[in-house]
């Protein structure tokens, strides 16, 4: 309901979320009335959004925030509301006239793969034609993948970020499956990511917001929440929270607003990280950063027992260049502290909790 989004915008402005960089309040599926109006335009559900989307956008903008909305490339949304098929220009103009700043464009009920691709292209052109800057969030590759390998070069020409994998759920098995999938496909997806176009590991329609970070709900332990935040930063993933900010623990708030982690996620070089080593239950990931720095994550996938040590040579990092001839290392998560200066030939021993991650900046 509009009341929910008004309250969430208030909290984002008042409790440091906007200042940490979270600037979009996103409405997902089910915001629409079941039919278009007499002029063929989408309209908001009159009971849940009685003031209309334009008024809500104005309110969100008054808080220094932006509004995101949802539609679908097919003739119906995933939940059965009117889709944008055959109405791409009209819907883009409608969203622009309402002051919308982001469109999540789903891929349900699209018919053939040709119609799906054509719809994603046409909506991209239609949004640009409005003259309003609207972030275009696609689900194009997710719907292609069961049948064919997505052409990411083409997708990046049209979309600002794109969904690759199944809905995220508030569970460790969901987070783990996303990380496994990303590592398995990194050769085809990492190179395409960069300013203007990003791989989105997941984007569920089952929560209040476009779903990314399920931190602050109930399904993840503290170590697993740290892992999600650290790995989403390594993967250069868009950070969309999927939680109720009116009822969030101080610990979850500290993690989600952690400026050092957000700085890694938003690094201006815009390169996506990747897995560089795997040993039993441990994984070593790195992400090149601006200023010749690297973010490094040591992930422990062991689910039982206590903390374990992982030791690796610093020559592993950045093809041997990250620490040549020496480097300073700072731990960012699970808590921030300086580790000091190391030489190129040093080994590093990192203690990591089960299902946890230690995030370092080298």
Q: Contact 67/28 with Cβ under 8 angstroms?
A: no
Catalytic residue status for 106: yes
Catalytic residue among 106, 200, 202, 267: 106
Backbone φ and ψ for 340, nearest 5 degrees, come out as 95, -165
| 289-308 residues labelled b (16+ CB within 10 A) or e (exposed) | beeebbbbbbbbbbeeeeeb
CA 189 to chain centre: 15
Catalytic residue among 167, 180, 223, 244: 167
Q: Give whole-number Cα distances, 111 to 60, 115, 204, 276, 295, in Å.
A: 35, 6, 21, 39, 42
Catalytic residue status for 167: yes
Q: Which residues are catalytic?
A: 106, 167
């Amino acid at each position: 309901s509009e009341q929910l989004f008004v309250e969430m915008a208030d909290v984002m402005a008042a409790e440091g979320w906007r200042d940490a960089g979270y600037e979009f309040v996103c409405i997902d599926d089910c915001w629409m009335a079941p039919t278009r109006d007499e002029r063929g335009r989408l309209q908001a559900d009159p009971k849940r959004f009685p003031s209309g989307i334009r008024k809500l956008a104005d309110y969100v903008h008054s808080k220094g925030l932006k509004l995101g909305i949802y539609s679908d490339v097919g003739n119906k949304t995933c939940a059965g509301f009117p889709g944008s098929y055959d109405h791409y220009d009209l819907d883009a103009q409608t969203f622009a006239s309402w002051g919308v700043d982001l469109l999540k464009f789903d891929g349900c009920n699209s018919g053939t793969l040709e119609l799906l691709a054509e719809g994603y292209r046409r909506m991209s052109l239609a949004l640009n034609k409005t003259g309003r800057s609207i972030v275009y969030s696609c689900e194009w590759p997710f719907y292609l993948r069961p049948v064919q390998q997505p052409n990411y070069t083409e997708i990046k020409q049209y979309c600002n970020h794109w969904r690759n994998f199944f809905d995220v759920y508030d569970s460790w098995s969901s987070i783990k499956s996303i990380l496994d999938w990303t590592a398995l496909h990194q050769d085809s997806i990492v190179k395409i990511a960069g300013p203007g176009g990003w791989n989105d590991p997941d984007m569920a329609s089952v929560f209040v917001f476009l779903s990314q970070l399920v931190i602050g709900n109930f399904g993840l332990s503290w170590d697993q929440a740290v892992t999600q935040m650290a790995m989403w930063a390594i993967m250069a993933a868009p950070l969309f929270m999927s939680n109720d900010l009116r009822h969030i623990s101080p610990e979850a708030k500290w993690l989600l607003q952690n400026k050092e982690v957000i700085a890694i996620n938003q690094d201006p070089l815009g390169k996506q990280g990747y897995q560089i080593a795997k040993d039993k239950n441990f994984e070593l990931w790195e992400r090149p950063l601006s200023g010749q720095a690297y973010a490094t994550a040591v992930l422990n996938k062991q689910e039982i027992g206590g903390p374990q040590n992982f030791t690796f040579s610093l020559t592993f990092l950045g093809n041997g260049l990250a620490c040549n001839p020496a480097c300073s290392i700072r731990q960012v998560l699970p808590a921030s502290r300086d580790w000091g200066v190391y030489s190129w030939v040093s080994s590093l021993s990192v203690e990591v909790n089960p299902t946890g991650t230690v995030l370092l900046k080298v």
